[in-house]
Amino acid sequence: MSTDDRDRAAPSTAEAVVLVGGRGVRLRPLTLSAPKPMLPTAGVPFLRHLLSRIRAAGIEHVVLGTSYKAEVFAEHFGDGADLGLRLEYAVEPQPLDTAGAIRNVADRLSADDVLVFNGDILSGVDLTDLLATHRSTAADVTLHLVKVSDPRRFGCVPTDADGRVTAFLEKTDDPPVDQVNAGCYVFRREVIDRIPAGRPVSVERETFPELLASGARVQGHVDTSYWLDVGTPEAFVQGSADLVRGVVPTHALPGGPGEALLLDGASVAPGASVGGGSAVGAGCVVEDGARVEGSVLFDGVRVAAGAVVERSVVGAGATIGSGAVLRGAVIGDRAHVGAGCELLDGVRVWPGVELPEHGVRFSADC
């Protein structure tokens, strides 16, 4: 199925809520300066990919549930007009968990059906089909459930022969089904209004079990579409690379898909190599003999001659010295990695830190 087929327009009576209030602790130090959904991902803020698909599905009104660095979203997206959207913002006065955050935006909603997205999930679900499942079954809430190869890492969500959710099960070494909550829902508006206001409320531990107990119809929309929680550095670089290569649908990728994305003013020397879905930010310089593979370079990064950057994220304005090796590393904004350094297996360098030269080797196990 093509991207255009997946995103064919849905009836305009639906609205969307995107929850973007998390602090992104697992992605520090990158999230010290920007919320996780605003990190450059395949050339644009991560959230722009999701918003582009929401608009392509025919939905025009989107409410962002914000908290951490809330002002950054409005400064970048404004009223959403450049995306063909009408954006509103609702700030959580305190962390409210998923259902509480949904309830916090209720006064901005007017449609009968509301699609809700976790803002750190990269997904290829067909939004029109999801909404059709919700409406054809007259569900109170419909959950996108994705089949995964190893459900032991997640709580699983069994369904009956009609697709109705029967339980929400905790993590177990012997899960009865391979389908898990993918963090995307369709709510009937009146269900949102019944969520308690002004306090933290969990959808999985409180809202959904209470709906099941009351006899409400909680429907599952099960598929095997692309799905990734980009909350860790490893997943973040994978998600960006998959967007660059066209593995997951988006309408926000600058240019077409390919093995690398070079933004305006990026310079790659003839003897350098950039591939594996790498995204190279505006004004970056990759010098002769350097290799960048499956990585994300924010704007203004310099990778010196002979350096190797694999499966890593390098923050804005950082410099990687000649012959340095980064594999699975996270480098903060304006940091400097000295010539000959090796940063391996989850090492993180905070913004502005300068690592010495002369072949120092660091790994997460040190």
Would you list the domain boundaries of the chain?
Answer: 3-236+240-244, 259-363
Q: For 125-178, what is each residue's pLDDT tens digit? A: 999 999 999 999 999 999 999 998 888 888 789 999 999 999 888 777 888 888
Confidence of residue 33 (pLDDT cuts 50, 70, 90): confident
Q: Looking at residue 218, what is its pLDDT?
A: 95
5 pLDDT tier (thresholds 50, 70, 90): very low
Same fold, 3-236+240-244 and 259-363: no
State the chain's mean pLDDT as an integer: 89
Question: Rounded CA gap, 53 and 7, in Å?
Answer: 7
pTM above 0.75, yes or no: yes
pLDDT at site 337: 94
* CA–CA gap between residue 236 and residue 240 (Å, rounded): 6
Locate 218 and state its tokens.
């909680």
Q: In CATH, which of 3.90.550.10, 3.30.470.20, 3.30.1370.100, 2.40.128.110 is domain 3-236+240-244? A: 3.90.550.10
Determine contact, residues 14/131, Cβ cutoff 8 Å. yes
pLDDT at 170: 77
Q: Give percent helix, percent strand, percent coil of the chain, each to the nearest 5.
A: 25, 30, 45
pLDDT at residue number 360: 65
Q: What's the confidence (pLDDT) of residue 7? A: 53
Superfamily of domain 259-363: Hexapeptide repeat proteins (2.160.10.10)
CB atoms closer than 10 angstroms to residue 260? 21
Share of the chain above pLDDT 70, in %: 94
The predicted-structure confidence for 290-344, as pLDDT tens digits, reads as follows: 999 999 999 999 999 999 999 999 999 999 999 999 999 999 999 999 999 999 9
Q: Once rounded to an integer, what is the mean pLDDT over residues 260-275?
A: 95
Q: Return the pLDDT at 364.
A: 58
Q: What is the pLDDT of residues 203-236, one digit of tens each?
A: 888 999 999 999 999 999 999 899 998 888 999 9
- The phi, psi pair for 151, rounded to 5°, reads -70, -5
Beta strand pairing call for 121-123 and 227-229: antiparallel
What is the Cβ-side half-sphere exposure of residue 42, based on CA atoms within 13 angstroms? 32
Amino acid in the structure at residue 96? L
